[in-house]
Structure formats: C-alpha cells, structure tokens
Structure 1
Amino acid sequence: MTTSYPWELGTATGVGSYPGDDPAEALRVVLGELPELPHLPELPARGPGADLTGRTAGLLVDMPVRVEPSGWRFSDRPGRDTLRAHDHLARDLDVLEEIAGGHDGPFKIQVCGPWTLAATIELRNGDRALKDPGAVRDLAASLAEGVAAHVADVRRRLPAARILLQLDEPGLPAALAGTVPTASGFSRLRAIEEPVAEDVLRRVIETACADDAAYPIVHCCARNVPYALLRGAGAKAISVDLSLIPKRDDDAVGETIDAGVGLFLGAVPASDTVLPPLRSTAEPVRDLWRRLGFPAPQLARQVVVTPACGMAGASPKYVRDALKRCRDTARMLHEAAE
C-alpha cells in the first residue's frame, strides 16, 4: 500500500530560522519562495524569547523561565523573559493569521523537542534539567500540553490548512551519547538510554498530535541521527542534513524509507556561499536514493528538499536564493522521475 503524505510531489520547505526581526517580511518571503509547503519563520535576532529554547520555553505550562548569564533557567514565577517569549510568538501568530489565514495546503510550525530543551534549560540550582529524570518527565509533560495548545491556536488561525509539527532535536544524539557537558563544563552528563528517550519523545508527539491535530516531524541536523528511535517515537517524517549522512547509516535510512517515513533532506547550504549548478545540488539526493535501491518515482513523493539547517546566520539575499534553489531542486527531482 502506498503511504500518503500531506505534501505534493516535488515539494520543498525551510527548516525554521531566518535573519532579521520583521516577522511579516520573513513570512512573505517564505510564502513566495515555498508556496507548496510554507512554514512559520523564527527570528532569533530579536533576542531572548525568540531563540529556539526561549521560544519553546514560553509554551511550557506552569514552568516559567528566566534568562541568566549562563542561559535559560526555571524560575519561581513568570517574569519579563517569559512575557517576552509570549509576546514574540503572539506577534508571529497575528502576522500569520493576517497574511496567510486563507492558506489551504500543508503548513509547518516548529518547536524545540523535549531532549534538546532539557539539555539547554537549567534547574534552579544551575544543573541542566537533563541531569534529573524527574525534571525531564515534568518538562516533557508541560511541553506536550503547551505544544498541543499551540497547535490548536495555529489551526484556529489557519482553518483550511493541514498543520505539520516539527520538533527540533539537534541535542538528542549528544544526550544519547553522554556528551552533554555538566554546568561546570568539567564533566559530562550520564547518557540517556534509548528506550527512555523514545518514550519521552513519543509522549510529547502523541499529546501534541492527538486526534490527527498535526503531522509529526522530527528535525535533527546533528551527526548520528537515531532513525529507529525517531520512528518508534511516532515521527512520520525525519528532517536531516544530507551532507551529514554517512554510508554507515545506509541501513537505518533505508529502513526509514521502507517504513514509509518521509525524509526532509537538507541539500542546500544554510549559510552564505556560492551555489553550484542546479544539477550539482540535486545529484547527492539522487545518489543517496540510487545507493539505497529505491524506485526513482518514489523519491519525489517521499522526499522534501530543505536547507541543511536553520538560516538565521545567512544574508536576506542568500535566503531567497537558497529557498529558490530548494524549490528548483525538488521540481527537478520530480521531473526527472516522471
């Protein structure tokens, strides 16, 4: 049986972050360059509360945070930092409704996943939340509730759209490998066992995407992506940096494709560079597919082309060029397979 995906053949999208501080301008660029699968831009240049951790921490239920010199930390009561995160997101959603309220196709939103959040938020004593299993459970439950409410809010603002929810987990491989540093930096936190990691992520996905409220994607732009774990947790698509897929991962990637899980492949550099000819961008995607032995027509259906990662450090001109390259690459791959 053919797996159904919420995107069309030959689709491209972005990962999440962009340069600048104007949400309306960023969204117009996304809608113009990625009309088949646009997404809500993130603008970390606006400061604390617009960054990956702070933006998602603002969604947490009954777990306020504040900014310390060392980063984000849980606090006793909501303060200006939590309020700032709420304000940034509220502004983004108002702009989304105003500019894209009539969008009737797939639309992607992004939040930080539980393991990356636990590795970047500190407990009140300064230790990372990742160190305390009880704190991780509480954080994941709060996150799941908050993200479910966020998905519902986006659905109200885009009533005709199909919502895709991307959980960003760049810190998950380090948590599994036991390479996340302690607060002092002199040691490393104990490795998280894979069944525990999978269970926590699954709980967040199941709550946030309950009743088919959203289509779950997990993004991991680090090395050693745990494909089987992400599939087991309920990810229906996995987003990775194509340049970081080693041949030793062929079996894991092949099993993921065989299971019908979508692949968001980061085929275009995320920071300013001179882009090579279009065929040179598409060829690594085709090479991977040929190497794994899957039918060419399946590629355009199952693969979405993206930048390698977020583009907050890129120039506005390069962002437009890179997004156009993603779209042109996806079309080329589709046309070549027909």
Structure 2
Amino acid sequence: MTFLPGGLATGIGSLPYQDPQQALPLIRENMPVIPHWPQLPQRGSTEGFVQQFLQPLVHFGLLVTERDRVVFDDRNPCWSEMLTNFYTAYLAVEEKDANALETFALPPGAAAGFYAFMEEMSRDIGEALYLKGHLAGPLTIAFQLKNSRGRVAYYEEQLRDLVVKTLAAHAYWQAAALARLNRQPIIFVDEPAVSVYGQFNYITVTREMIINDLNTIFHFIHEAGGLAGVHSCNAIDWSILCECDLDIINLDAYNFGSSLFVYAPELKDFIQRGGVIAWGIVPTSEKAFDEEERSLLLRWKELFSGLVQRGIPAEQLYRQSMITPACGTGLLAPELAEHIYRLTRKVSAQVREGAF
C-alpha cells in the first residue's frame, strides 16, 4: 500500500484523562489528519491489556484471576475442551465469520475512548484521512503472564500461540471497525519488549519467533485493509522490524534516534519497499517544557541527515516520514500531555512545509 505521509502527525495512544470527552478535542485539534482513539489508563485497571485485548482468553476460561494474579489455567481438567472452543472461534475468524470476530472485540466497559472516538468520527470525520488504533504486542504481554506453575507464558509455545492469535484476531476486528468509517485504518502494535532480543538473560528469544509472531498480527491488519506499525520506545535491533511485513516503524527518536544509524542498510531496503519511519521526536517527559518546535525540528533534522548520509535518499525519506510523541502520555500530568500534543502539531507543520 502506498502511504506517503510527508510529515503528518499522530499520537501513540494513551492520554491522562478519565473522560474521553477531554481527550478527543486535543486529538482532533493537533492530529486532525491521522487522529487516534485514546487509551485512558487513569480510568483504572479496566483499561489494562488483559481487559482490553485478552478478554477472549478470559471468556473461554483459559485465563483466570488467582489471588490478584492473572494466570493461564492450564491445569484445569477442562483445558483441552477450552482450547478447542478458542481455536474453533479463531479459525472462524480466519474464514471471515463476522459473528466469531465479535468475540475478539474491545469490551465497551474497558475501552471508553475507542467507542467515544468511533461515535465522534461517525458524526463528523473532519479532516481525517486515516484513523489510528493500537494494541499491546505479543512479546510485551506474554512476558507479563504466567501459567499455573509460574512459568512465563512466552516460553510456553502453546500459551504464546494463544496470545499471538488473540491479538491477531483483535487487530483484525479493530482495523475492520475503523475501516467502516470509510478511512484507511493504521494499527500500531506497542512492542517495547523487542529490546530483550540479544540480551544474555533472553537467549531463547529468537529473531524468528519475534518476526513470525508479529507477522501473524500484521497479516490480519492487512486483511482488513489497514496499515501496520510497531511502536518501540527503546534502542532495539531495528533490522528485526525491517524484516517484518510492516508498513511503519515508530521509535522514541528524541532519546534513541541515533540507534537507527547502524541499521541504515536495512532501513534503506525498508524505505525502498514503501516503509515509513514515524519519528517520536517530541519527548514525553518534563523535558518537553524545555523544548520548542525549532529545537525539536533541528534535532529531527540531524537524525534525518544522519540517515541520508548513510545512503537513504532524502526525498524518499521525507515523503515516508511521520511525526509523533516519543511515547504515550497516559501517566503524565494533563498540562504536560497537552503541551506535548501541541509541540507535535507544530513540529509536524514545520516538516510538512519543508522547513528543514
């Protein structure tokens, strides 16, 4: 799919409000062409990844709460039967069964921002050409879940498969829901845990595992007509994402932008096949109060020039660039989040005008 954002802005996902009606005007004002639905962690644990993205596993009895811990109930005598029910639903999704797909929907009580966003956009789409959604990634989630024996879910092939397939089917549902508003969806997979690859304590996490799991999710996003992105707010091995069936790489460019340089050959291939870099150049910390659009633009220009000097064509890189905050803002003070969004809009406007 041809996607040439040329400096357009979007957000990562989370905002520090409890009422979605506080979030939506901020998004529409500062990211009118690619607005995103707001995740609202301040509403409490209902906005966490289990309630938002893994409810199908709870629904089928595979994931349960034990003494304030969420675990896979793989010692349950009905485990095989529950697996059968889950995979039956998943295979039906693969066959594009609309009823089965609803099993993987965002629960209304756990995603107030999504449903408020859908209602507002259906009423007035405004300047939007794309609609952005997001979900937590399989590596990030599977490292936080365990089975009944305390084993990390990521290291149990069956449990990892359940997480991946649940997220893939959900990504399909989310992209399809956004597409019903007659705009192309963009779905970011938030996957900071890619940073564990290559670390001594995680030697069993292979490149192939990461790529295959992510590609399963990207396939479903593409099936729904969407663009697939990955957000990772760390210095990772970017060549892994360049090998994926991925459209957009989003990074914390403010803190880790220079980490791209060593992977310039792989990024060049990624750009040449249509890939986009979403530069998270606006810091999501108190440092944002010390910055202005001019200082951030200069910082971005240095990173941009660094890739150009390493062989990536400037005009192509420019056309295939986006501007974002470095990360989500859900845990920040509202006034800081609002400042970050305004800075993102201003930097994006400068980039789009070619002021670099």
State the TM-score bracket (shorter-chain normalisation). Answer: 0.7 to 0.9
Contact 2:277 2:322 (8 Å CA) reproduced: yes
1:280 aligns with 2:295: yes
Shift in alpha-carbon separation, 1:6–1:222, aligned structure 2, 3 A? same
1:202 aligns with 2:215: yes
Contact 1:58 1:64 (8 Å CA) reproduced: no
Aligned residues: 317
Per-residue Cα deviation, 1:201-253 (whole angstroms, up to 9, x for no partner): 1112112321x5210001111222x3222122211110101134364641414
Shift in alpha-carbon separation, 1:222–1:90, aligned structure 2, 3 A? closer
Q: Percent of aligned pairs with the same residue?
A: 22
Q: Which residue of 2 aligns with 1:50?
A: 47
Q: Output aligned runs, 1:106-255, within 5 Å.
A: 106-156=130-180, 159-174=181-196, 176-178=197-199, 188=201, 190-210=203-223, 212-224=224-236, 226-245=237-256, 247=258, 249-253=260-264, 255=266
Which structure has more helix as a fraction of its residues?
Answer: 2
Q: Structure 1 CA distance, aligned partners of 2:225 and 2:110?
A: 20
The one of 25, 34, 37 aligned to 1:37? 34
Q: Structure 2 CA distance, aligned partners of 1:30 and 1:129?
A: 35
* Structure 1, unpaired ranges of 5+: 180-187
The one of 325, 334, 337 aligned to 2:352? 334
Q: Output aligned runs, 1:257-296, within 5 Å.
A: 257-260=268-271, 261-273=275-287, 274-293=289-308, 294-296=312-314
Specify the SS of the correspondent of 1:72.
strand
Aligned-residue offset at 1:65: 3.5
Aligned-residue offset at 1:286: 0.6
Q: Structure 2 CA distance, aligned partners of 1:284 and 1:299?
A: 16
| TM-score (normalizing by structure 1) | 0.83
1:26 aligns with 2:23: yes
Per-residue Cα deviation, 1:148-204 (whole angstroms, up to 9, x for no partner): 123223333xx2211001001111221x2356xxxxxxxx55531101221121112
Contact 2:132 2:188 (8 Å CA) reproduced: yes
Shift in alpha-carbon separation, 1:59–1:113, aligned structure 2, 3 A? farther
Q: Structure 1 CA distance, aligned partners of 2:318 and 2:247?
A: 16
Q: Structure 2 CA distance, aligned partners of 1:257 and 1:334?
A: 22
Give the letter aligned to residue 279 of structure 1: R
Q: Structure 1 CA distance, aligned partners of 2:354 and 2:109?
A: 42
Tell me whether 90-99 or 226-235 shows the greater mean CA deviation: 90-99
Contact 2:190 2:232 (8 Å CA) reproduced: yes
Aligned-residue offset at 1:129: 0.5
Q: Structure 2 CA distance, aligned partners of 1:54 and 1:126?
A: 21
Q: Structure 1 CA distance, aligned partners of 2:61 and 2:243?
A: 28
Contact 2:13 2:38 (8 Å CA) reproduced: yes
Q: Which residue of 2 aligns with 1:185?
A: none
Contact 1:305 1:329 (8 Å CA) reproduced: yes
Shift in alpha-carbon separation, 1:120–1:245, aligned structure 2, 3 A? same
The one of 71, 90, 101 aligned to 1:73? 71
Q: Which residue of 2 aligns with 1:96?
A: 117
Contact 1:44 1:52 (8 Å CA) reproduced: no
Shift in alpha-carbon separation, 1:247–1:49, aligned structure 2, 3 A? same
Aligned-residue offset at 1:71: 4.8
Give the letter aligned to residue 119 of structure 2: E
Q: Structure 1 CA distance, aligned partners of 2:61 and 2:136?
A: 15
Q: Which residue of 2 aligns with 1:319?
A: 337
Q: Structure 2 CA distance, aligned partners of 1:208 and 1:297?
A: 28
* Structure 2, unpaired ranges of 5+: 77-81, 83-102
Contact 1:6 1:106 (8 Å CA) reproduced: no
Contact 1:73 1:124 (8 Å CA) reproduced: yes
Specify the SS of the correspondent of 1:259.
helix
Q: Structure 2 CA distance, aligned partners of 1:270 and 1:12?
A: 15
Give the letter aligned to residue 47 of structure 1: G
Per-residue Cα deviation, 1:124-151 (whole angstroms, up to 9, x for no partner): 3232211212221232123212321232
The one of 8, 17, 23 aligned to 1:11? 8
Specify the SS of the correspondent of 1:49.
helix
Give the letter aligned to residue 51 of structure 1: G
Give the letter aligned to residue 161 of structure 1: R
Q: Which residue of 2 aligns with 1:305?
A: 323
Q: Structure 2 CA distance, aligned partners of 1:322 and 1:63?
A: 41
Q: Structure 2 CA distance, aligned partners of 1:70 and 1:230?
A: 35
